[in-house]
Amino acid sequence: MAEPVLRISGLTKAFGGLVAVDGVDYELPGGDLRAIIGPNGAGKTTLFNLISGMLSADSGSIAFRGRDITGRSPHAISRMGIARTLQVKSVFNGLSVHDNIWIAAHAGGGRLHPLRAARSYRETADTVESVLDEVGIRDLRNEQAGNLSYGDIALLEMAIALAMRPNLLLLDEPVAGMSPEETQNTVARIKELSRQLDVILIEHDMEVVFGIADVITVMNNGAILCEGPPDEIAKDARVQEAYLGAPEDAEI
């Protein structure tokens, strides 16, 4: 069998007496769009932080494309091909959309030379142009990031992550706080991106999750409760009890 894109074994992380991620085993074969859901405090974002190197695990291992990345720095993991967006949006508000993406695109290409003009970094410039089109924000290229709507900031964050040319993209609540129109636009972009690279998203909007994901993983109390296609997850009594509510009340 082919090596999975991501393999997590026995991953555990505690904060004092709180076990945020509890012996998680998770595998991403590759080729489909995955979602992770669960109530607040289920351990979803902590799991992303462990995968991306923002936190160190207490025990367990993480392998990406057959390589052990457990305990590596966020920068090293990013250069290996994993990029993520954050639950709290974070961009350089004083810079243009173009410049935000340019910084990310150049991050993996070595140091800036003080006597070399930015326009001479042809490969970086080409990446920026490509990403602007991929995310659909070319018309915002000269807009200052601080002036963007919440939905456009989310798209810019996605563009920044894509500028690093990842193989795996982790999206943490990509449509949180968006209007219905912004949500529809962002979901369409995520679907398009998932045809080019592997995507795992954390999301509380169940309409989005059940409409976009090929496989849904449900977490509760730091552990994986169940996993499967949307129709199976929607009918699972454990999910109804832990997260979605009673079957007669669920609106999926």
Domain boundaries, the chain: 31-46+76-244
Say if CB 211 and CB 183 are below 8 A apart.
no
Distance, CA of 161 to CA of 170 (rounded, Å): 9
Q: Answer yes or no: CATH 3.40.50.300 is held by domain 31-46+76-244.
A: yes
Q: Render pLDDT for 140-181 as a digit per residue (tens, 0 to 9).
A: 999 999 999 888 898 999 999 999 899 999 999 999 888 899
Give the pLDDT score at 250.
40
Q: Render pLDDT for 53-93 as a digit per residue (tens, 0 to 9).
A: 999 999 999 999 999 999 999 999 999 999 998 766 678 89
Edge-first strand listing for the sheet containing 18-28: 18-28, 6-15, 59-64, 67-68
Edge-first strand listing for the sheet containing 82-84: 82-84, 168-172, 198-202, 33-37, 215-220, 223-228
Distance, CA of 218 to CA of 159 (rounded, Å): 27
